[in-house]
Chain A
Amino acid sequence: MDWLNAIIQGVLLGGLYALFAAGLSLIFGVMRLVNIAHGDLIVLSAYLALTVTTALGLGPLLALVIVVPGMGLIGYTLQRAILNRTMGDDLLPPLLVTFGLSVIIQNALLIGYTADPQNLQAGAIEVASVAVGSIALGVMPLIVFGTAVVVIAGLQWMFYHTAIGRAFRATSDRQDVAQLMGLNRAHIFGLAMGLSLAVTALAGVFLGIRTSFDPAAGSARLIFGFEAVIIGGLGNLWGTLAGGVILGVAQTLGAKINPGYQILAGHIVFLTILAIRPRGLFPRIDG
Chain B
Amino acid sequence: MPDPFLSIAGLNAHYGDFQALYDVSMRVDAGEVVAVIGANGAGKTTLLRSISGLLRNTPGEIRWRGAPIGGLRADQIAGRGIAMVPEGRLLFASLSVEENLVIGGQSGRKGPWTLARVYALFPVLKERRNQASSSLSGGQQQMVAIGRALMSNPDLVLMDEISLGLAPVIIRQIYEALPGIVGEGLTAVIVEQDISKALSVSGRVYCLQEGRVSLAGQSDTASREDISRAYFGI
Contact = CB atoms under 8 A, between A and B. Distances in A.
A97 interface: no
A185 B106 CA distance: 13
B74 interface: yes
5 contacts: A173-B93, A180-B84, A180-B86, A182-B107, A182-B152
A173 B74 CA distance: 17
Nearest to B90: A177
B95 A183 contact: no
Contacts of A166: 95, 99, 102-103
Interface string B140-163: 000000001000100000000000
A176 B74 CA distance: 8
Interface stretch (B63-71, B75-83, B110-118, B195-203): B75-83
Contacts of B78: 179-182
B94 interface: yes
B101 to A, nearest CB: 11
B95 A180 contact: no
Contact of B75 (A163, A172, A184): A184
Contacts of A179: 53-54, 73-75, 78
A142 interface: no
Contacts of A182: 75, 78-79, 106-108, 152
The number of chain B residues touching the other chain, given as a range, is 20 to 34
A172 to B, nearest CB: 7
B104 interface: yes
B92 interface: yes
Interface residues of A, number: 18
A181 to B, nearest CB: 5
A223 interface: no
Contact of B106 (A172, A173, A176, A181): A181
Nearest to A184: B75
Nearest to A187: B75
Interface string A164-175: 001101101110
Contacts of A185: 75
Given A166-B95, A169-B95, A183 B75 contact: yes
Which of B76, B103, B148 has the most A CB atoms < 10 Å from its CB?
B103
A167 B106 contact: yes
A181 B103 CA distance: 7
B50 interface: no
Contacts, number: 63
A133 to B, nearest CB: 44
Contacts of B108: 182
B187 interface: no
Contacts of B84: 180
A184 B77 CA distance: 11
B52 interface: yes
A85 B75 CA distance: 18
A184 B78 CA distance: 10
A180 B83 contact: yes
A178 B152 CA distance: 13
State the 9 A-B residue pairs at the shortest beta-carbon distance, nearest first.
Answer: A182-B107, A179-B74, A169-B94, A182-B78, A173-B92, A170-B92, A179-B75, A181-B106, A184-B75
A183 B73 CA distance: 10
Contact of A170 (B54, B73, B94): B94
Interface string B118-139: 0000000000000000000000
Which of A163, A177, A180, A183 has the most B CB atoms < 10 Å from its CB?
A180
Nearest to A163: B106
Contacts of A167: 103, 106
A284 to B, nearest CB: 9
Contacts of B79: 182
A179 B53 CA distance: 9
Nearest to A179: B74
Contacts of B83: 180
Contacts of B92: 169-170, 173-174, 177-178
B152 to A, nearest CB: 7
Contacts of B104: 181
Contact of A180 (B52, B94, B99, B102): B52
A185 B54 CA distance: 12
B94 A181 contact: no
Contacts of B99: 166
A184 B90 CA distance: 18
B160 to A, nearest CB: 11
Given A163-B106, A170-B103, A173-B92, A181 B152 contact: yes
